[in-house]
Structure 1
Amino acid sequence: MSPREVFALRDHLGTALTERTISDPRHAVTLAQLTTGSCLGGRAGELDGRSVLLATSGQLLAGLALIEIDGVARRMLLCPPDLKTEHLASIIADAEIDAIVTDEPERFSECAVNLSVPVGLPALSARMAQTTRATEWLMLTSGTSGVPKIVGHTLEGLCGAIIGDRPVPGDALPVWATFYDIRRYGGLQIFLRAIVGGGSMVLSDPGEALADHVARLNKCGVTHISGTPSHWRKLLMSGSAEQFAPRYVRLSGEIADQAVLDGLKQAFPRASIGHAYASTEAGVGFAVNDGLEGFPATLLGEGRGAVDMKVVDGSLRIRSRRAAHAYVGRAAAALTDGDGYVDTGDMVELRGERYYFVGRRNGVINVGGLKVHPEEIEAVINGHIEVRMSRAKSRRSPITGSIVVAEVVLTADADPARAEAVRNEILADCRARLAAHKVPAMIRFVPALDVTPAGKLARSDA
């Protein structure tokens, strides 16, 4: 994208528009329909120069609307489905929202916003949106118990890792899917890859059973798909992976340990398996395609490409044109340090010639004054052949303040009669590979573990 010109998403739709679709379980819309029809009833012009809250009941309408709104509105805030009602007023004020695009007008009836534009499936319209400006894309952070932070992006930054990555002429068009919601950063990246990269997009649906979802992915011919490690572990546990054969599988959003990478390679032997690092603030950092957890130390440094990375006090820091440009709001903090780096808060540890993620800085468990990252314990537990996924957490202790306990989900073919033996084997692995204060004091086998709407393992300490 040239800095001397203004582009919007509609200007990057590319070719083969009648063959490419955006679909959910109920509807499929061709990209050709977006060039002759309006999902806003021809009212996009009313959003000219406004700050728009895009809040829809499902992903399909959100995806259609953001294509029509980009290049018209001054700002566009993507509202995730799990946004709490009590946070709406603060977010509307911080983002200076003066228009709402929604199919749920009653949800916003008490908000002090005068203009509400309904959104629906595309219909022929004589008044089509025209690109007039570079719209600022606003997204909300996840993983916080308070009011989410608002993060500002440009389309150029969001597409920094995508532009120029179109299919080779003559090759079959890719069909993309993701377990993420496209109103979150990870899902939006896949949506943009499909739209800008010349493919189709198959959207997930929270009310759809996993087996039905996979059947739909197969029916739609999905070739490229992404999700968090927790998403993939749930798929591997379900047995539905046997029906599915994508050629491109990617993980992001959580630490991809060796166990889940190996599990996916076994399930999809013909697929390219890799994991990527990205965050709402730092943008897309890098991708690792060698089948190993962590990332090569050679990726760190400046002037090595589009992304500069360094480690300060164990925390990964990133400087990139793909990163967000600012937090938005009345009391917004600085997004970067004085040198332009985003402090990701993701802690890494150098072992040999490779860095490994050990956890989040704000997720540390304090055991008698010693720090424990639950993720490094989970990586050891997940390495057991009969374990599908696990969650380490703290439990109060009158002696040390906290102790570490673990909940473990076994594989579907695990023998229940071996439960005690598996527990002992897990503890032996932990004692061999972890410091004593990191070894779980108790292991409990559970049928499933909760995953947040953002696709990450739900964490709440007792």
Structure 2
Amino acid sequence: MSPREVFALRDHLGTALTERTISDPRRVISLAKLSRGCCLGDRGDELDGRSVLIATSGQLLAGLALIEIDGVARRMLLCPPDLKAEHLAGIVADAEIDAVVTDEPARFSDCAVDLIVPVGLPQPSAEATKSVRATEWLMLTSGTSGAPKIVGHTLEGLCGAIIGDRPVPGDAIPVWATFYDIRRYGGLQIFLRAVVGGGSMVLSDPGEALADHVARLNARGVTHMSGTPSHWRKLLMSGSVAEFAPRYVRLSGEIADQAVLDGLKQAFPQASIGHAYASTEAGVGFAVNDGLEGFPATLLGEGRGAVDMKVVDGSLRIRSSRAAHAYVGRAAAALTDSDGYVDTGDMVELRGGRYYFVGRRNGIINVGGLKVHPEEIEAVINGHPEVRMSRAKSRRSPITGGIVVAEVVLTPEADPARADAVRRDILAECRARLAAHKVPAMIRFVPALDVTPAGKLARADA
């Protein structure tokens, strides 16, 4: 590929619109100025043809490094903030890492990598960075156990659902934000939507109180916001929701049940509210904007556009130009089947012309020898008007081997004196809609539920 054919991330920055920015709680960077600056101390040419690990203490420097390195490095791997130290050496070997870009060089002093380049805020540069190749983008899966897998993408594939979605000339510049970290697939998609789609980007910060985060979103004029259903439930439980008025609200990363969709519609009556299906391996599959959980069965089939979908043994499978092209590593498994489909492992059921997500294939809990998807139980519980979120799990029983128990967070408006009545209501609804072995044997009300760094409800059987 000749240099003229290479189109890298920096080529989307522009030099005229100084209103476009990327910001975190402490800094605001002009994208126009960034196109004429350097965050690597004019050492970017040392990364030419290298396989680079981007490992920074915060999202802002990671985003700046992505922009500067794309089109220069052979490949770059975006390191998430929660990567366990014991997995680092294996990932460095599997991704053939021979350079690290970081603001924490001491962390990698024993990493057997011969080049460490410091990254900082952009400074004026005498010479603009040139795009010389199509860089391979590597990301890590967000599995909760074992070493994460390395997934290979291209910028073209990552932007497959974005190109052509730029604002119309004369329209207000969209200001994007997300509860996600941009070093995970969901957050990276929003970062790319801002940079490639002609907008600005407001980054989250894990140490920031939710009320302060919302105040900053308002101060920066955020118009487009995304997160997992768990992220949005936390916002709906807070006292800050009334202060926020985005015009575009999107959910992804977990099952969006009807309760959370209805809650968001009530909170943001003027907003476009929808949920998208995407994964690190399968890419962006589709978006649903009709206000209903699940997706129409008419989306399945081949030759319907950029994405082909089918269901095999209850699992959704996707073939797409937006998908990753391979797992990367010394013992990497095949990413797709012989027909090019990614088996997502997300289980669906067809009901009345619409498919509903029921849970992950590897997230099934065992209850007395019977298999149960916890998300199916949670969807029923979350439908109660006084419930904000819930988590179903199994607990060992000396009689049946396992029973279902549920932890439930009530809405801020719920009357604590009605706890017993709410418990009876939930159990009655579960008995009416679920098989007997799926009905919780115990319901415990809790003030909050843990969420993983990827924004998903933390799950661990008792």
TM-score (norm 2): 0.99
Q: Which runs of 4+ in 1 moved over 4 A?
A: none
- Displacement of 1:16 after TM fit? 4.2
Alignment map for 1:54-453 (pairs within 5 Å)? 54-453=54-453
Query: Match of 1:397, SS?
Result: coil
* CA distance in structure 2 between the partners assigned to 1:387 and 1:16 by the alignment: 48
- Displacement of 1:384 after TM fit? 0.2
- Displacement of 1:7 after TM fit? 1.2
* CA distance in structure 2 between the partners assigned to 1:363 and 1:305 by the alignment: 31
* CA distance in structure 1 between the partners assigned to 2:304 and 2:63 by the alignment: 34
Query: Match of 1:281, SS?
Result: coil
> Deviations 1:381-417 (Å, cap 9, x if unpaired)?
0000000000000101122221110000000011011
> Deviations 1:41-61 (Å, cap 9, x if unpaired)?
111100000000000000000
5+ residue gaps, structure 2: none
* CA distance in structure 1 between the partners assigned to 2:3 and 2:197 by the alignment: 20
Q: Tell me, yes or no, if the aligned pair for 2:13 and 2:32 is still in contact at 8 Å.
A: no
* CA distance in structure 2 between the partners assigned to 1:217 and 1:233 by the alignment: 17
Q: Tell me how many residue pairs correspond in the alignment.
A: 461
- Displacement of 1:234 after TM fit? 0.2
* CA distance in structure 2 between the partners assigned to 1:398 and 1:434 by the alignment: 23
- Displacement of 1:144 after TM fit? 3.0
- Displacement of 1:324 after TM fit? 0.1
* CA distance in structure 2 between the partners assigned to 1:365 and 1:259 by the alignment: 23
For 1:209, give the aligned amino acid.
A
For 1:295, give the aligned amino acid.
F
For 2:428, give the aligned amino acid.
A
> Deviations 1:307-343 (Å, cap 9, x if unpaired)?
0000000000000000000000000000000000000
* CA distance in structure 1 between the partners assigned to 2:324 and 2:293 by the alignment: 26
Q: Using the TM superposition, name which of 5-14 and 184-193 deviates more.
A: 5-14
Query: Match of 1:186, SS?
Result: helix
Query: Match of 1:269, SS?
Result: coil
TM-score (norm 1): 0.99
> Deviations 1:166-221 (Å, cap 9, x if unpaired)?
10111100000000000000000000000000000000000000000000000000
> Deviations 1:244-296 (Å, cap 9, x if unpaired)?
00000000000000000000000000000000000000000000000000000
For 1:234, give the aligned amino acid.
K
- Displacement of 1:3 after TM fit? 12
* CA distance in structure 2 between the partners assigned to 1:252 and 1:135 by the alignment: 27
Q: Tell me, yes or no, if the aligned pair for 2:14 and 2:31 is still in contact at 8 Å.
A: no
5+ residue gaps, structure 1: none
* CA distance in structure 1 between the partners assigned to 2:340 and 2:89 by the alignment: 31
* CA distance in structure 2 between the partners assigned to 1:143 and 1:377 by the alignment: 22
* CA distance in structure 2 between the partners assigned to 1:323 and 1:291 by the alignment: 26
Q: Tell me, yes or no, if the aligned pair for 1:44 and 1:128 is still in contact at 8 Å.
A: no
Report the counterpart of residue 53 of structure 2 in structure 1.
53
Q: Among the aligned pairs, what percent are the same residue?
A: 89
* CA distance in structure 1 between the partners assigned to 2:340 and 2:144 by the alignment: 24
